[in-house]
Structure 1
């Protein structure tokens, strides 16, 4: 069974029902402060932590005096806009006393499906985490109509975990794990401690439950588990209403762990290697040697560019003799790459007329 102590990078998803009091519509300050203590302890152990937090609509509806019933789309968007600023401020206030800087990152599903936007999101989150920041990620419910109508942050959390290469995803929920049936209506339902393989039989057990303020039932949690585990990220579902939910999980609280299928970096490399390249990047002997030592590909080491490709597209990396060294996702399109090839990274702004990234292909986006 997985353990938090083994994780190097954690994504923690927080549901609305945990953050917001059902009766008053107010933030549960004691709970958020307890979560902050847990996050600070994990950070103190040298772990990277990313929070994916619901709650903006639930908070905003209380401020605006909107009913507790299903909201019209425009009302949901307005509630999200009002609630999001309060949600971000709450996290900032509880984490700042521990010396932890927070950042608000609002995304949509398209930020994961469009390769260019995916690379932008990945680079931003990676930079924040490398600076010791705890990103607070939420669906941009003010504009993301699809998410408001059908989705929830379970699926988003899994995509964030894949994007940042997390090795564990923790869903803090209002249920304490995955059951063979809905335990509220079937007293014979059995909770699974570990799920090693998400079979059709397991999927059939998910049902279609929806709980309170939360939009996601067990189906979306199982979808999240499939996404995460295929990318090398273990996932846990645990009941999170206790004041120190992550401490409780470490101390043996009820949970279901879904086992990762591969290592996160291996999964990413396989994904990149399986793509069909849209162009070629020829590198000199010095660059080829640097790539072999795990370095990123800088423009200075590129001797030729072939094909028409866009930013974020897969390209083959060739040596001077035309042998394929590997491939990667380029951070420049073919026209830009042609202009900056053979030049030092500090020359990029002068050549293109705008600042760019130092690496043409970052080592994390490369499979050799």
Structure 2
């Protein structure tokens, strides 16, 4: 952490920009949307492609209905988001219309990205829109979300979208101007940190968990999003969303906001999708020998090493692999359903056919379809 080193920010061609609720809510919200559209138009004029991830459906719905605070029940939250989403998109369409840019709305749930075919379909749709010169505007589908299919917040969604489209840079526009040494609300003397080499446990401890009054994500959420992007080799810029030219200033290398470096990409293709999968379908608990083989030997998971099977899932679905202490080892695609694995767990591969009456393969999860997560990342 420290001074920002020279990076080729000006050469980054494909950007994902996430706009927080606090940036575009309130009396000046529409002017902020216009200012952001202006910055996106300038980026497009430089030959860059932009995908926008926009929060604000809930805040917009609250304003339209005259509610002072969020309701507590899920149906009421979903109803308010349903009221706010059309207006939010109308305002974005108007803002971008000033710069002769067309927009498209895409609403997603975690379940959409948890299924490989739907993940690829979403990517193809986004690629087509970018090819046509249209600005995709993505939001979580709040009107149908439940805990089982929820990303968490749009910070996390933006990191997944950055990976999905192969972005060169993720930008988080927020009312939080930068990462500080301490919470500036309670420590006015705290200084901003303009560069973070790696988002590790020490950096995560610097963040508070409190979200703002209209959004769901605080600094911790933004650090987790930067960590996800970092694992995919994508740097992240946290910038003040209400500063008119913050994106241009940051891309020129000026010390605005915080830049989180992109690490060397560990995975690509299907393994990268597995690594960042928002909602695996179930879990398998493995013994110490299998955990060691997966972590250190790059081995496949055999039924003999499985101690417990949790949840319901079918062949080819993604599951989390845990050790006996509950620590996450990684995520993989299973060759057998949950019911089948329960019948063959702790059994030798030679016994599979006798137990099931058939054998798909020796491996419960093949190493080519398993993405390892380090213990640091699992915390």
TM-score (norm 1): 0.68
Q: For 1:73 and 1:67, how far apart are their aligned partners in 2?
A: 17
Question: Cα deviation per residue 1:221-244 (whole Å; 9 max; x = unaligned)?
Answer: 111011101111110111111234
Give the superposed CA RMSD.
Answer: 2.9
Does 2:10 correspond to 1:5?
Answer: yes
1:180 is matched with which residue?
A: 181
Q: For 1:206 and 1:129, how far apart are their aligned partners in 2?
A: 35
Tell me, what secondary structure is at the counterpart of 1:38? helix
2:164 is matched with which residue?
A: 163
Tell me, what secondary structure is at the counterpart of 2:105? strand
1:220 is matched with which residue?
A: 221
1:210 is matched with which residue?
A: 211
Tell me, what secondary structure is at the counterpart of 1:187? coil
Q: For 1:83 and 1:147, how far apart are their aligned partners in 2?
A: 23
Structure 1: which 5+ residue stretches go unaligned? 276-308, 313-368
Q: CA deviation at 1:248?
A: 4.3
Q: For 1:72 and 1:246, how far apart are their aligned partners in 2?
A: 37
Q: For 1:128 and 1:3, how far apart are their aligned partners in 2?
A: 26
2:332 is matched with which residue?
A: none
2:191 is matched with which residue?
A: 190
2:46 is matched with which residue?
A: 45
1:255 is matched with which residue?
A: 257
1:109 is matched with which residue?
A: 110
Q: CA deviation at 1:188?
A: 4.5
Question: Cα deviation per residue 1:75-122 (whole Å; 9 max; x = unaligned)?
Answer: 211111111111111111121232211100000112222212211111
Q: For 2:240 and 2:146, how far apart are their aligned partners in 1?
A: 28
Say if 1:173 and 1:237, in contact at 8 Å, map to a contact too.
Answer: yes
Note closer, same or farther for the CA distance 1:95–1:259 as it changes in structure 2 (3 Å cut).
same
Say if 1:35 and 1:246, in contact at 8 Å, map to a contact too.
Answer: no
Q: For 2:274 and 2:142, how far apart are their aligned partners in 1?
A: 33
Tell me, what secondary structure is at the counterpart of 1:144? coil
Pairwise mapping of residues 54-133 of structure 1 onto structure 2 (< 5 A)?
54-133=55-134
Question: Cα deviation per residue 1:57-78 (whole Å; 9 max; x = unaligned)?
Answer: 1001111222325543222111
Question: Cα deviation per residue 1:30-77 (whole Å; 9 max; x = unaligned)?
Answer: 211111111111011111100000001100111122232554322211
Q: CA deviation at 1:310?
A: 7.1
Note closer, same or farther for the CA distance 1:257–1:12 as it changes in structure 2 (3 Å cut).
same
Tell me, what secondary structure is at the counterpart of 2:268? helix
Note closer, same or farther for the CA distance 1:4–1:81 as it changes in structure 2 (3 Å cut).
farther
Say if 1:53 and 1:138, in contact at 8 Å, map to a contact too.
Answer: yes
Tell me, what secondary structure is at the counterpart of 2:205? helix
Q: For 2:114 and 2:242, how far apart are their aligned partners in 1?
A: 32
TM-score (norm 2): 0.66
Say if 2:109 and 2:149, in contact at 8 Å, map to a contact too.
Answer: no
Tell me, what secondary structure is at the counterpart of 2:198? coil
Structure 2: which 5+ residue stretches go unaligned? 276-314, 319-379
1:16 is matched with which residue?
A: 21
Tell me, what secondary structure is at the counterpart of 1:135? strand
Say if 1:116 and 1:311, in contact at 8 Å, map to a contact too.
Answer: no
Say if 2:13 and 2:48, in contact at 8 Å, map to a contact too.
Answer: yes
Q: For 1:146 and 1:274, how far apart are their aligned partners in 2?
A: 20
Pairwise mapping of residues 249-328 of structure 1 onto structure 2 (< 5 A)?
249-250=250-251, 252=254, 254-262=256-264, 267-269=267-269, 271=271
Note closer, same or farther for the CA distance 1:62–1:147 as it changes in structure 2 (3 Å cut).
farther
Question: Cα deviation per residue 1:243-276 (whole Å; 9 max; x = unaligned)?
Answer: 344234346352111111136xx8425836999x
Q: For 2:246 and 2:80, how far apart are their aligned partners in 1?
A: 27
Q: CA deviation at 1:8?
A: 0.7
Q: For 1:167 and 1:180, how far apart are their aligned partners in 2?
A: 27
